[in-house]
Amino acid sequence: MESQKIKWGIIGCGDVTELKSGQAYNKIADSSLVAVMRRDAEKAADYARRHNVGKWYSDAELLMNDPEVNAVSIATPPSSHLDYAKRAIAKGLNVYVEKPVTRNAAEAEAMAEAVRESGAKLTVAHYRRALPMFLYVKSLLENNAIGDVRTVQIRMWQNREPKVPTYPGTNWRLDPEVSGGGYFHDLAPHQLDLMLYFFGEPEHYNGYSLNQANSSPADDHVCGLIVFKNKVIVNGSWSFNVAESEAVDTCEIVGTKGKITFPFFGKFVTLKTEAGEETTDFTHPMHIQQPMIEKIVAFFKDEGPNPCTIDEAVVLMKIIDSFTLK
């Protein structure tokens, strides 16, 4: 039925949408990308031409008013997420918001309130929830492969120039007014959301952040603790000013019968028990958000649950605030 087809418009068709998501919208049943928007009209037109998208705009309002569009993907920097989401919700559109969902918990709560008042459908792009690698970790935990989980240790240490996309002459990720913080706000939502996905509702969380190198306005060192209601304890350490040789991306989940180890931005999981050690390699999909978008399309069509709600993202942003707000 034509009305059941999800026809997407991307607000902010920048680097993040080039491979991760943009092309995936056309590879899912009853889903298609029909319009894109970027404030730079030339770049919007170029994106549409390269990806065979029928329409492009340099004004988000025009895209949201396009009668063919019934769902929007908000892929702009975080400072504009709340405004675009509220405007899209007011127009009755389905909404998919990039992470971090907002700059802070107060903005996330405002977005959640808009969703509640309208009954709109909104999903947050914590897309690692849908990747086979992390579903495997979740299955190991659910099957008691390492017994009762006692402690989780997260380390994300990188050089002053982390391996994330930047833009010539500017890096909005290091402008707290735009991003909410620094590289922590860009990378940690993936990691912390998986902790919520694996372990459920947190009971207590706190942390601290500081700017050790003063190479940008954003803090470059963050540490934090989460105690979950099921008594799992997570300790995290994020530093973006270490020697290149000391860069690390690792999560260790330690239980009474063994340990699960994996990188958040890698492609393997190691299970260590008394029976031995086994490493399973994974290949992520070409468009890494495609498994999540498949679930979102089903949700928008009333054929499945919301794979990541705004209420879950509010909890995540409260944790991030507790780690970083002085």
Q: Can you give the pLDDT at residue 2?
A: 46
DSSP bridge pairs for 56: 36
DSSP bridge pairs for 279: 270
The predicted model scores a pTM of 0.95
The pLDDT of residue 97 is above 50 = yes
3-state secondary structure of 288: coil
Query: pLDDT tens digits for 210-223?
Result: 999 998 999 999 99
Say how many C-beta atoms besides its own lie within 10 A of residue 68's C-beta: 13
Residues 6+ apart with CB under 8 A from 286: 19
Average of pLDDT values for 302-325?
A: 97
- Across all residues in the chain, what is the average pLDDT? 95
* pLDDT interval class at 161 (50, 70, 90): low
Helix H segments across 102-182?
A: 105-118, 132-142, 176-179
Helix H segments across 91-201?
A: 105-118, 132-142, 176-179, 183-199
The pLDDT of residue 167 is above 60 = no
The pLDDT of residue 252 is above 90 = yes
What's the token pair of residue 318? 């409260």
Query: pLDDT tens digits for 14-55?
Result: 988 998 999 999 999 999 999 999 999 999 999 999 999 999
Ramachandran quadrant class, 115 (left: phi over 0; alpha: psi -120 to 50; beta: rest)? alpha
Omega within 30 of 0 (cis) for the link into 100: yes
User: Phi then psi for 306, rounded to 5 degrees?
Assistant: -75, 120
* pLDDT interval class at 288 (50, 70, 90): very high
The pLDDT of residue 165 is above 60 = no
The pLDDT of residue 126 is above 60 = yes
Say how many C-beta atoms besides its own lie within 10 A of residue 258's C-beta: 18
Query: Tokens 């002459």 belong to which residue?
Result: 169
Q: Can you give the pLDDT at residue 162?
A: 56
What's the token pair of residue 287? 């468009």
Say how many C-beta atoms besides its own lie within 10 A of residue 219's C-beta: 23
Q: Can you give the pLDDT at residue 79?
A: 97
The pLDDT of residue 247 is above 60 = yes
Residues 6+ apart with CB under 8 A from 198: 137, 138, 141, 253
Average of pLDDT values for 238-245?
A: 95
The pLDDT of residue 70 is above 70 = yes
Domains for the chain: give ranges and CATH numbers.
Answer: 2-128+288-309 (3.40.50.720), 132-283 (3.30.360.10)
